[in-house]
Amino acid sequence: MPRKTVPKQCACGCNSMTKGGDYLPGHDSKTLSAIIENVGGIKQLRQLVEGVLNRQIEVRS
Ligand SMILES: [Zn+2]
């Protein structure tokens, strides 16, 4: 049985429908860029997320 795909509204807020994913192609990275820009940078985003998770994010090389 093929996986049933249920169209969803794109999570970026563009009001378009996806083929089942959270985002249309490219809209996930567009959203991430906007988040990073709004929060002031990746360093700030990491600090924010670590605060919410109450633990450190491990960066693997
Ligand atoms: Zn979108």
pLDDT at residue 1 above 70? no
Averaged pLDDT of the chain: 95
What is the secondary structure of 4-23 as a DSSP string? P----B-TTTT--B-SSSSS
Distance from residue 44's CA to the centre of ligand 1 (Å): 24
Residues 16, 24 contacting (CB under 8 angstroms): yes
Task: Give the pLDDT of residue 2.
Answer: 64
- Protein residues near ligand 1, an ion, with CB under 5 A: 10, 12, 14, 24, 27
Q: What is the pLDDT of residues 16-39, one digit of tens each?
A: 999 999 999 999 999 999 999 999
User: What is the distance in A from the centroid of ligand 1 to the CA of 3?
Assistant: 22
The pTM (predicted TM-score) of the whole model is 0.80
pLDDT band at 5 (very low <50, low <70, confident <90, very high): confident
